[in-house]
Structure 1
Amino acid sequence: MSPAPGDRPPLSAARAAAPRPRTLPAAPLQLDVLLDGLTHPGRGLHAEQLHWRRPGPLDLERFARAWQTVTDQEAVLRTGLAEPAPGARPGFAVHPYAAPRITRHRPDGAGPEAWDALLAAERKREFDLTRPGPLRIALLDEADGGTRVLLTYHRALLDRVGAGHLVRSFHRAYAADGRPRGGERRPDLRDHLQWVGSRDLAPARAYWSRAAPPAGSVTLPALDRGPTHQRGHGRTRQRLTPAEAGRLRAWAALLGAAESTALHAVWALLLYRAGGGGPGGAAVPVAFSAAVSGRGIPLEGAGELPGPLGNALPVAVEVRADVTVAELLGELGGRAVDLAAYEWVSAGQIRGWAPGSPVTESVLAFLQPEGGGRAGAAPWPGSGPRTRPHPQPPPEPGLPDGEGELVGACSGVPVAVSARHDRDGGLTLTAVHDRTRFTDGDAAELLWQTALLLRRLPSEAGPSTTVGEALTPLHGAPLPRVAPDPVPAARTLRPAAAAGAGRVCLLPPPGAAEDCYDRFALRYPGAPELVTTAPTAAAALAALAPALAAGEPVALGGHPGAAELAHEVARRIGAYGWSTPPVLAAGSDRALARALANLG
């Protein structure tokens, strides 16, 4: 492995003396992504990938020049987390200069195993978001002289659509031998953050206060089970043939719906089934999240803007056995239209506006066809709710139609399902699951049932077919099982004395009893909320996440044996854009109380 030209060049005196970049507050959606990555250490979440194969010898100098040109023109590639101000939530700063991060790998045997290992290693390697640039480039030489190009990017600053725009810009720059063509792209990330920050939240708050999932909603299409004793993420796939995909598209259109709405309806049926629904049963509230592009906003040029606009918003609906599938499709289609007005709103904001609303635990996405289609092509039929068209310039001669193959990111949700038409017209379904919640077998069963309904409904469900009748193909099929969240919830020792007072997490030393701070909590007179957790980084981070999301002060403390873990947690919080919280360690309850009192 060796660094390629353009990786970490020395800063010139002019660059070193450049004015400090302006800091803009992170958008609520970015805060959600940062919190999700922060609270799941060691999981490599929100790292998405695009890759393609380049035949023949690669001119590495020209390759690096082309990416430097793109970096100079695209603000997002020069952006990193800003130095946090005390008590402030994360912000981002666009720097005047950054270099592309390019690494060349020359394995002993450049076979499929080497490529798979590189994909996994790059995906699991965490980003240093304090350093400008959310994109890493890895090159893998092959025995026949070709090169595999792998882009790994972080979704706090880039989504799959934005990454595709960058790849097309790179191809144009490479064809021009890296010579700049025009200046910086505008609008850019700064314009988007300013646009989001200027929104009037009152209409969104009013809508989501009534449209958020109600308490008690079924959020996973599975029954409870014990721990899986597995780790990491898994992927499983099902495919509808071109003929099956064509029938699904025609059936959905006949009932006035898009293919994406048909996928939503099938998932709602599975959630209803897991919630105990049956013929003659009462209504079952179900909830999931639906992916939206985030580019239907009234910001000129948003369609071509590389940034973190992609989003997933909650969808809530009540399902009854006697409702027809056509009515369910119509209701879900209406929800999709409503979401189009709020693509910029984050799930964290929604939970703040609707206290008690459950967290949705699955995400559904209908992606662009494989290869992305040619620039300027019409949207793929059924790919989602209609939004404003975003015309693009025609492709230049000699450039590829698509921007590469996608490897979707893992996130903190237990299961995410994406659908994508392949080059032959078939429909590929991919489920990415958290193995601590779903075993590979349960995830495969869940996706198989999803595909089965998508195959059978077009031939068996007419305008008058009810939900109960639509589930007939699953009679006798097992219900998948899901394990509880393995990270234990924090235990509140004492509530805060006032709203916004913050939270202090007390970590037990190794081997200490769970109630080792109970007596201290009765005597400590301070204002912050006191909580305690299991002595793990994941548990402590999950305990502090609500206060971090609200911008409240946090601190970590405990007896000396817990100091090492507390410092590890504090460093991670600082690495994700928040102020590094104070760590207070004392050998006695009295000394710990004095230390907390000194926090002010």
Structure 2
Amino acid sequence: MTGRPGDGPRPAPAARALAAPRPRVHPAAPLQVDVLLDGLTHPGRGLHTGQLHWRLHGPFDAERFTRAWQTVTDQEAVLRTALAPAPPGPGLPGFAVHPAAGPLIVRHRAGGATWEALLAAERMREFDLTRPDPLRIALLEESDGSTRVLLTYHRAFLDPAGADHLVRSFHRVHAAPGRPRGGERRPDLRDHLQWIGSRDPAPARAYWADAAPPAGSATLPAGDRGRPTHQRGHGRTRQRLTPAEAARLRAWAAARGAAESTALQAVWTLLLYRAHGGPGPLPVAFAAAVSGRGIPLDGADRLPGPLLGALPVAVEVRPGATLSALLADLTGRAVDLAAYEWVSAGQVHRWSGRDPYEPLTASVLTFLPPQEPRAPADPAVPFPQAAGADRESAGASDAGASDAGASDAGASDAGPVEAWEAYTGTPLALTARHDADGGLLLTLVHDRTRIADGDAHEILWQTTRLLHHLPAEAGPGTTVAEALRALDGIPVPLAAPRPDPAPRTLRPAAAPDSGLVCLLRPPGAPEDCYDGLARRGRGRRALLSVAPGATAALTALAPALAAGVPVVLGGYPEVEGLAHEVARRVAAHGWSRPPVAVAATGRDLAGALTAAGRKRIKPYSSGS
């Protein structure tokens, strides 16, 4: 049986939202644009859906649980945020902060769904980004009387650190006796956007024009398979270093002036070189996660939002160079990245001058801090703070305060919070985090269309083998080539080629902001079926021809959508249904719905495309 706690309707604030003042709209942050584009160009359920879960022991008070989450929702603007309706014409998506919303809570009774089935179902259930529900809460009653709590959130609104801050705020409110008080938290994402808007982008643009990975860099720790994997979706594999092994790795890196995260990057760099290198030097590239919270904005370290990004790291690997030199090189790159945590990967790609359809990297490494302690069962005990942690910012600092004399009926003992990393369009995503015992847990998420399950397992096993081997065997003078001898005789994993061919450029744009016309080839049609259109006129917009399929079309549109320039979809009548499907998907991710032009002849199609590019585009609505 499923239903909301108490089997009642959504709390009153959501109902009052219809009569409330109009929501406040702000433009999408660069990182949000990246997430929306990644979800747009990689259709599939479960992308950018993160999860946190924990167990509540003891009596469960549904009313108190709901009231605590309502308090957090009232205080946190991000929980009242949704995609704003797209205005007519070109431009970037906007987000609307609604004045009121209610937590979306579903309760599953004991004996119903299994925990594993609930995790998978919530992860694969699509978010409606136009509703202020960026976080869903599912409750599962257990036969022993405990209650499992599952939070599922979308990365366009929250990152793991932001979700973790919300859980801490909930525990603080839930543990406090009486009626909580406190206003809306500041800073929020709007303050972060204002801070970004005050930055001069010129230094960042100049840096990344030079520091972006060069063409031809090795980006996957796997050789060319030359054939598809015949697998779909995403996979996940894990390995663990014991506490003693993790401590030895940390000491080995520190002796060379590097962090533990840098040692992991060095091992990944070795695997990239091994998969593609020869006897000489080779540039390699991967993305390294940056928190986005190490910026000089007061309260940014506690700001719930999508601040976690990933920036490219490019190094040249020389087989005769020492590991100490490689670690020093990577440490220097980490220092450089710290100055640009507010920059998104999409901006870096545009500033790099590289082909917009050629990814700069194909893997991302994330080293997360250890989980902090949770709220105690006894609300009289102060909420535990991490060493050196500040109090909550003004406006939300009293979230855990209460009126004196109130009772504490219904408090539960909260177990440790566990995380489930979100799937993305990146072929490989490696996350490292210390567990409660001090061991180092490595989780590799892979796109199964590019990396088969067996190859992903082999990549992570080789990563772990080098993390074991280097602290025990590598001395100050050990070279890259010598370090890789630990993998002698072990096959190089394989990767499948990218499934969709790059679009054919029939005509370049007359200017960067001229726009794009994307022509969808009918199934079975020759690649040159639209070449006559390019010869027929001198239009200002770029003219592309793409393979039949939604993914190929959306990938072709992505650079123009990222730049906020106008786009038109078109082709012969056989692709009309596909074109409208692509247009609907674009609109569902916050952009204005692009016009579609189809005609049976080249002459008529040219005229239809011209007319479509001139007409005013109506805002897309889900009812159209």
Q: Same fold (TM over 0.5)?
A: yes
Match of 2:33 in 1: 31
In structure 1, the partner of 2:74 is 72
Report the equivalent of 1:170.
170
Matches within 5 A, 1:343-492: 343-356=341-354, 358-370=359-371, 375-378=384-387, 391-392=390-391, 404-492=417-505
Instruction: Summarize deviations over 1:79-114 as a string: whole Å, max 9, x none.
Output: 11112222110111211011111112237455xxx2
| 2:506 aligned residue | 493
Contact 1:7 1:99 in 2 (8 A): no
> Could you say what secondary structure the match of 1:138 adopts?
strand
Any conservation in 2 of the 1:76–1:133 contact (CA below 8 Å)?
Answer: no
Q: Mark the CA change 1:4 to 1:177 in structure 2 (over 3 Å): closer, same or farther.
A: farther
Q: 1:247 and 1:206, CA in 2 relative to 1: closer, same or farther beyond 3 A?
A: same
Residue 40 in 1 paired to residue 34 in 2? Answer: no
Question: Which piece of structure 1 moves more, 262-271 or 123-132?
Answer: 123-132
> Match of 2:153?
153
Alpha-carbon distance in structure 1 between the residues aligned to 2:511 and 2:14: 51
From 285, 306, 309, give the equivalent of 1:308.
306
In the superposition, relative to structure 1, how do residues 399 and 115 fare at CA in structure 2: closer, same or farther (>3 Å)? closer
Q: Which residue of structure 2 aligns with residue 215 of structure 1?
A: 215
Moved more, 145-154 or 294-303: 145-154
Q: Are 1:98 and 2:97 an aligned pair?
A: no
Three-state SS of the structure 1 residue aligned to 2:339 is helix
Distance change >3 Å, CA 511–CA 331, structure 1 → 2: closer
Give the deviation of 1:591 after TM superposition: 2.5
Q: Relative to 1, partners in 2 of residues 1:143 and 1:399: Cα closer, same or farther, differing over 3 Å?
A: closer
- Say yes or no: does 1:596 pair with 2:609: yes
Is the 2:14–2:100 Cα contact (8 Å) retained in structure 1? no
What SS does the aligned partner of 1:506 have?
strand
Where 1:299 maps in the other structure, the secondary structure is coil
Write the deviation string for residues 149-189 of structure 1: whole angstroms up to 9, x where unpaired.
11111111101111111011111222236833211111111
The letter for the 1-side match of 2:101 is A
Query: Which segment is superposed worse, 165-174 or 138-147?
Result: 138-147
CA 1:285–1:22 in structure 2 vs 1: closer, same or farther (change >3 Å)? same
Q: Which residue is equivalent to 1:527? A: 540
The match for 1:569 is 582
Equivalent residue number for residue 84 of structure 2: 82
Question: Do the aligned residues in 1 keep the contact of 2:14 with 2:102 (CA within 8 Å)?
Answer: no
**Mapped partners of 2:416, 2:9: distance in 1:** 23
Instruction: Check 1:348–1:594 CA distance in 2 against 1; reply closer, same or farther (3 A cut).
Output: same
TM-score w.r.t. structure 1 length? 0.92
Unaligned runs of 5+ residues in structure 1 are: 379-388
Displacement of 1:15: 3.8
Letter aligned with residue 377 of structure 1? A
Tell me how far 1:526 sits from its aligned partner: 2.8
Counterpart-to-counterpart distance in 2, 1:251 and 1:448: 20
Q: In the aligned structure 2, how far is the partner of 1:247 from the partner of 1:16?
A: 58
Query: Deviation string for 1:372-405 (max 9, x for gaps)?
Result: 6895434xxxxxxxxxx75246999988788610
In structure 2, relative to structure 1, the CA distance for the partners of 1:589 and 1:178 (3 Å cut) is: farther
Q: Is the 8 A contact 1:372 1:401 kept in 2?
A: no
Question: What is the letter of the counterpart of residue 288 of structure 1?
Answer: F
How far does the alpha carbon of each residue in 1:264-304 deviate from its partner, in whole angstroms, 9 at most, with x for none?
11111111112224xxx322111111111111000000111
Check 1:13–1:314 CA distance in 2 against 1; reply closer, same or farther (3 A cut): closer
TM-score by length of 2: 0.89
TM-superposed CA distance for 1:324, in Å, is: 1.0
* Contact 1:168–1:403 (8 Å) recurs in 2: no
2:14 and 2:82 mapped to 1: Cα distance?
20
Deviation at 1:527, TM superposition (A): 2.3
The 3-state SS of whatever aligns with 1:256 is coil
Query: SS at the partner of 2:33?
Result: helix
Partner AA of 1:449 in structure 2? Q
Aligned to 1:128: 128
- Corresponding position of 2:238: 237
Spell out, residue by residue over 1:194-248, the C-alpha distance to the aligned partner (whole angstroms, 9 max, x if none).
1112211111112212211122211111110011010011011111112211111
What is the CA deviation profile of residues 542-594 of structure 1, one whole-angstrom value per residue up to 9, with x for unaligned ones? 11111101111111112222121111111111111110111112233332222
**1:200 maps to 2:200:** yes
Report the equivalent of 2:115: 115
Q: Distance in 2 between matches of 1:400 and 1:168?
A: 14
Q: Which amino acid aligns with 1:302?
A: A
Separation in 1, partners of 2:463, 2:313? 18
Structure 1 stretch displaced more, 167-176 or 389-398 = 389-398
Conserved? CA contact 2:20–2:99, under 8 Å: yes
- Choose 66-75 or 531-540, whichever is displaced more: 531-540
Distance 1:251 1:216 in 2: 32
Q: Deviations over 1:424-455 (max 9, x none)?
A: 22111110000000011111111111001100
CA contact (8 A) 1:4 1:64 kept: no
Cα offset for 1:493?
2.6
- Counterpart CA distance in 2 for 1:63 and 1:99 is 13
Instruction: Give the aligned partner of residue 253 of structure 1.
Output: 254
* CA–CA separation in structure 2 for the residues paired with 1:471 and 1:264: 15
- CA distance, structure 1, for counterparts of residue 420 and residue 372 of structure 2: 13
The alignment status of 1:282 with 2:284, answered yes or no, reads no
Correspondence for 1:504: 517
CA spacing shift, 1:13–1:352, aligned 2, 3 Å: closer
CA–CA distance in 2 between the matches of 1:299 and 1:371? 23
Alignment match of 2:322 (pick from 321, 324, 328): 324
The correspondence for 1:53, drawn from 52, 55, 67, is 55
**Higher relative contact order structure (alpha carbons within 8 Å, sequence separation ≥ 6):** 2
Where does residue 385 of structure 1 map in the other structure? none
| CA drift at 1:515 | 3.6
SS of the counterpart of 1:342? coil
CA distance in 1, matches of 2:477, 2:599: 69
SS at match of 1:471: helix
1:549 counterpart (562, 571, 580): 562
Aligned residues of 2:546 and 2:553 also touching (Cα < 8 A): yes
The count of aligned residue pairs is: 584
Secondary structure of the residue that 1:458 maps to in structure 2?
helix
